[in-house]
């Protein structure tokens, strides 16, 4: 019989039990499988399971001395269905790959398994991660555990919903335009976008692309730090990958280093935001003042964010998906087709202009962080919206031009290359989660995590999950 009480503990507590040999990885898998059986029919967060593979890996790990079992010591990890796992169905949310079973794993998965992670499930995602709502024709729609009539956002929506509903302690996500941060916001968990290269990924056909990154998702900031430590490091097949820092991120959290000066912005000066969401985040941000940290209203100059991001996103879609469009157009959802074809609207002069503009954009952001240690804002412009909507079409009287513009709060930060996370900020009048985006300076994951961990108990919503789906 599984110990269902384990479900309610956070990842750091679970790892401590593993270190003390009070539970085994098999105990954890038993508890998760029981919880998945109970919860999954209600939310569809983890549509592909691989518990047999997980138990085989867990048994092999348990045969090693405790000191050789890696940082995670056999902790179960859910992997987003955009990353390949050897021998496990990986669909990318697309009918084109509905029956795809890879013969090798992504570097992200290899690294986690090398560091003692045990993969037991694939988390749902929209087709090729496109769009801020987690649905696809292969595996269906993921529903929000807080209200099953609402979206979990995307594209790491399955990972966020699993964490919120107790079918995961740790889950991997990825982020280009907010795919880690938006689901974290909608599900009241923590999702972190690291600096490009911090987590090695691929092998990729576009190895120098620095908009997409892989990162950790968990229920608390400390748990995210633990998982990030198990994900980082250089890899020869990822040419932009970074060396493991000398200080672990878990130790950075324990160091409890407060920022000296913090900026808060309701809208980053570039997008509409629902007034209730903005107010909730402002209240959460001002909790820093109870720790003696000054909070000022300010943000970098992001005036050309749309021009830059839309062009670079289109370019990326064309480079990676144009062959699929030529061969399988009828199997691609319209938003993906639009994003691929949008690249044809640009000339070489346009892309030159955009690349130069992004260079100036990053320098303005660096200048800003010479004054401020952190930038805080809403993680999303709205709270969880009706799940039947493909995307958010308008906010506070503004009609968005396309299916991703509502994600501007997140991708304005993506373009800086700076690390950012979404952490629970509070709840709307409907009882729906809202996330606070916390942004660190260049390659500033350690300071970001340390500060966020200090802010977390002041806000007071870290213990809101897991929940039983309504």
Per-residue confidence (pLDDT) for residue 2, from 0 to 100 = 66
User: Count of CB atoms within 10 A of residue 140's CB?
Assistant: 12
Cα distances (angstroms) measured from residue 220 to each of 11, 170, 190, 244: 8, 10, 6, 22
Beta strands 433-439; 374-378: pairing state:
antiparallel
Within-domain flag for 292: yes
Phi/psi class of residue 199: alpha, beta or left (left: φ > 0; alpha: ψ in -120 to 50)? beta
Which candidate, 178, 119, 126, 167, places its Cα nearest to that of 145?
Answer: 167
Angstrom distance (rounded) from CA 117 to CA 231: 10
Q: What tokens does 151 get?
A: 């979206």
Question: Which H or E element spans position 367?
Answer: helix 348-368
Q: What is the mean pLDDT of the chain?
A: 97
CA angle 88, 18, 219 (to 5 degrees): 70
- On whether residue 311 sits in a domain, the answer given is yes
225 within 8 A of 250, measured Cβ to Cβ: yes
Q: Are 168 and 32 in contact (CB under 8 A)?
A: yes
Mean pLDDT of 37-43: 97
- Residue at 469 is within a domain: no
C-alpha 318, offset from chain centre: 23
Distance CA 198, CA 184 (A): 20
Is the pLDDT reported for residue 362 higher than 80? yes
Return the number of other C-beta atoms located less than 10 Å from residue 98's C-beta.
15
Mean pLDDT in residue range 388-398: 97
Is residue 470 very low, low, confident or very high in pLDDT (cuts 50, 70, 90)? confident
> How, if at all, do strands 190-193 and 420-427 pair?
antiparallel
Whole-angstrom distance, CA of residue 387 vs CA of residue 149: 6
pLDDT tens digit string along 299-322? Answer: 999 999 999 999 999 999 999 999
218 within 8 A of 187, measured Cβ to Cβ: no
Phi-psi category of residue 93: left, alpha or beta, with phi > 0 → left and psi -120 to 50 → alpha: left
Is residue 410 in some structural domain?
yes
257: left (phi over 0), alpha (psi -120 to 50) or beta: beta
Domain count, the chain: 1
For residue 298, CA distances in Å to 265, 270, 360, 377, 468 come to 6, 13, 19, 10, 39
Strands 75-80 and 117-123: parallel
- Looking up residue 67, the CATH number of its domain turns out to be 3.90.1300.10
Say how many C-beta atoms besides its own lie within 10 A of residue 355's C-beta. 13
Q: Output DSSP code: residue 329.
A: G
Centroid of chain to Cα 43: 18
Q: Is residue 391 part of a domain?
A: yes
Give dist(CA 139, CA 124) in Å, integer: 7
Helix, strand, coil percent content, the chain, rounded in steps of 5? 40, 15, 40
- Per-residue pLDDT reduced to its tens digit, 399-436: 999 999 999 999 999 999 999 999 999 999 999 999 99
| Residue 370 in tokens | 């010479």
Q: Which of 94, 105, 151, 155 is catalytic?
A: 155
Residue 162 CA to residue 171 CA, distance in Å, equals 8
Please give the biggest Cα pair distance in the chain: 64
Read off the pLDDT band of 4 (50, 70, 90). Answer: confident
How many CB atoms are closer than 10 A to CB 295?
19
Q: Rounded to an integer, what distance in angstroms lies between the CA atom of residue 233 and that of residue 199?
A: 6
Residue 449 maps to a domain:
yes
Residue 470 included in any domain = no
Q: How far apart are the first and last CA of the chain?
A: 25
**Residue 91, pLDDT score:** 98
Look up 246 and say whether it is catalytic. Answer: no
Residue 1, pLDDT > 60, answer no
Least confident segment among 1-5, 207-211, 374-378: 1-5
- With contact defined as beta carbons under 8 Å apart, do 425 and 435 qualify? yes
- Structural domain contains residue 172: yes
Mapping DSSP to helix (H, G, I), strand (E, B) and coil, where does residue 153 land? coil
Express as a percent the part of the chain with pLDDT over 90.
99
Residue 121 main-chain phi, psi, to 5 deg: -160, 155
- Is 222 annotated in the active site? no
Q: Is the peptide bond before 155 cis (omega within 30 degrees of 0)?
A: yes
The model's pLDDT over 160-206, given as tens digits with 9 standing for 90+, comes to 999 999 999 999 999 999 999 999 999 999 999 999 999 999 999 99
- Segment 88-97, tens digit of pLDDT: 999 999 999 9
Count other C-beta atoms under 10 Å from residue 2's C-beta. Answer: 17
Catalytic residue, from 105, 151, 179, 195: name it.
179
Which residues form the domain of 344?
A: 4-464
Query: What percent of the chain stands above pLDDT 70?
Result: 100
Reported pTM: 0.98
Instruction: Give the whole-angstrom CA distance, residue 330 versus residue 351.
Output: 29
DSSP output for 52-98: HHHHHHHHHHHTS-GGGS-TTTTEEEEEETTS-BTTB---TT-GGGT
Looking at residue 213, its pLDDT comes to: 98
């Amino acid at each position: 019989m599984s110990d269902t009480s384990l479900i309610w503990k956070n990842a750091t507590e679970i790892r401590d039990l593993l270190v003390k040999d009070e539970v085994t990885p098999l105990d954890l898998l038993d508890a998760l499988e029981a919880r998945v059986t109970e919860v999954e029919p209600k939310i569809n967060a983890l549509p592909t399971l691989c518990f047999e593979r997980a138990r085989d890996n867990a048994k092999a790990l348990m045969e090693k001395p405790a000191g050789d079992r890696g940082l995670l010591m056999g902790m179960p990890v859910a992997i987003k269905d955009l990353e390949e796992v050897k021998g496990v169905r990986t669909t990318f949310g697309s009918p084109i790959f509905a029956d795809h079973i890879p013969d090798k794993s992504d570097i992200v998965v290899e690294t986690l398994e090398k560091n003692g992670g045990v993969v037991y499930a694939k988390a749902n995602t929209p087709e090729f991660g496109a769009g801020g709502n987690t649905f696809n024709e292969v595996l269906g729609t993921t529903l929000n555990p807080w209200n099953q009539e609402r979206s979990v956002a995307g594209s790491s929506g399955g990972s966020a919903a699993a964490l919120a509903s107790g079918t995961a302690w740790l889950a991997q996500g990825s982020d280009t335009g907010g795919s880690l941060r938006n689901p974290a916001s909608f599900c009241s968990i923590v999702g972190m976008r690291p600096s490009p290269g911090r987590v090695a990924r691929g092998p990729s056909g576009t190895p120098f692309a620095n908009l997409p990154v892989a990162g950790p998702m968990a229920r608390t900031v400390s748990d995210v730090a633990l998982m990030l430590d198990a994900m980082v490091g250089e890899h020869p097949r990822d040419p932009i990958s970074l060396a493991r820092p000398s200080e672990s991120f878990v130790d950075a959290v324990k160091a409890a280093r407060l920022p000296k000066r913090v900026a808060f912005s309701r809208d980053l000066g570039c997008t509409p935001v629902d007034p209730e969401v903005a107010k909730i985040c402002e209240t959460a941000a001002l909790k820093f003042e109870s720790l003696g940290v000054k909070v000022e209203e300010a943000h970098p100059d992001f005036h050309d964010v749309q021009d830059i991001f839309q062009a670079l996103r289109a370019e990326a879609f064309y480079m990676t998906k144009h062959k699929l469009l030529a061969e399988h157009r009828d199997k691609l959802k319209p938003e993906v087709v639009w994003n691929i074809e949008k690249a044809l609207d640009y000339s070489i002069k346009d892309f030159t202009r955009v690349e130069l503009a992004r260079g100036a954009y990053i320098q303005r952001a660096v200048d800003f962080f010479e004054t401020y240690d952190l930038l805080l804002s809403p993680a999303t412009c709205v709270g969880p919206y009706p799940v039947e909507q493909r995307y958010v079409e308008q906010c506070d009287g503004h009609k968005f031009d396309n299916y991703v513009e509502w994600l501007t709060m997140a991708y304005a930060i993506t373009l800086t290359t700076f690390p950012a996370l979404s952490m629970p900020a509070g709840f709307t009048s409907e009882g729906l989660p809202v996330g606070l985006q916390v942004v660190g300076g260049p390659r500033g994951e350690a300071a970001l995590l340390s500060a966020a961990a200090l802010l977390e108990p002041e806000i007071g919503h870290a213990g809101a999950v897991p929940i039983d789906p309504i």
